[in-house]
Amino acid sequence: MDTTSLISSISVPRLSFYETFLGCATDQEKVGAYVAYQDLSGDFFCLVQMIEVALRNAINNTIKANHGPAWYDSIPQTKKSQDLVLNAKQKALDECGVRYTDDDVICRLTFGFWVYMLDAPYRDTQRPCYIWTPENKAKTFPHAKNPLGGGDMKVKALFDEFHKVLLFRNRLFHHEPIWKKHHCKSHSQAINNMLKEFNFLMNALSIVSNEKKELIEFIGHDRRFYERCTIEYVMGIIGRIKCRELKVAG
């Protein structure tokens, strides 16, 4: 394993985070930390994917029941959302042909589209696009409880919650270090940041589909993450990289 080639494929600027924030002094330490945290980051993709699909299906089922299966042609209000619908319809046409279905369009709408269906225009009782009646909210998010007071979450709070998921999802899919936050200056803080993000996503999943959260727990996905998301695991990976380099050098 050639460390120089590894650094070139990962990039020096990306590895510099591990020196600046975590104090990794050698190239081997930086590569080891990069691999360890990337490995842990892989466990987040399953949660994000489950949240995306659950949110899409929950919102679509509710709006469809009130406005029909082609509601996406009339309900979206913002230019951005309308453009996303046009893009989804074009993709459906390109990939499915002229007989594409409403479901072919729905499944091609981005996660951001669904998050913004919780935004202000759709909460405004004076607008024709108002969809978040108390009944619709309860039907779509039956498990959405305020963590502080135990009462039902408002739709504005739901928008804020899933907008955070959207921002996190974009960081994850752009391969940004999800442990990296302001004032992170140690592996212990980086691990703590990873645990907080994982717990946040588990809670977001429970809000939109408590059944999916229970499924994650049933198959042990969360347990496996918690067992590995430790300083000992990260330092173990770093140690293995350093030992391999010593053997190669020897």
Q: What is the pLDDT of residue 55?
A: 99
- Check if the beta carbon of residue 40 is closer than 8 Å to that of residue 228: yes
Query: Among positive and negative, which fits the CA dihedral 89, 91, 95, 97?
Result: positive
Measured distance CA(175)–CA(181) in Å, rounded: 15
Measured distance CA(24)–CA(32) in Å, rounded: 9
Measured distance CA(131)–CA(121) in Å, rounded: 9
Going from N- to C-terminal start, the domains of the chain cover 3-46+168-249, 69-164
Per-residue pLDDT of the chain (250 residues; tens, 9 = 90+): 677 888 899 999 999 999 999 999 999 999 999 999 999 999 999 999 999 999 999 999 999 999 999 999 999 999 999 999 999 999 999 999 999 999 999 999 999 999 999 999 999 999 989 999 999 999 999 999 887 776 899 999 999 999 999 999 999 999 999 999 878 999 999 999 999 999 999 999 999 999 999 999 999 999 999 999 999 999 999 999 988 765 555 4
Q: What is the pLDDT of residue 3?
A: 75
Measured distance CA(233)–CA(199) in Å, rounded: 19
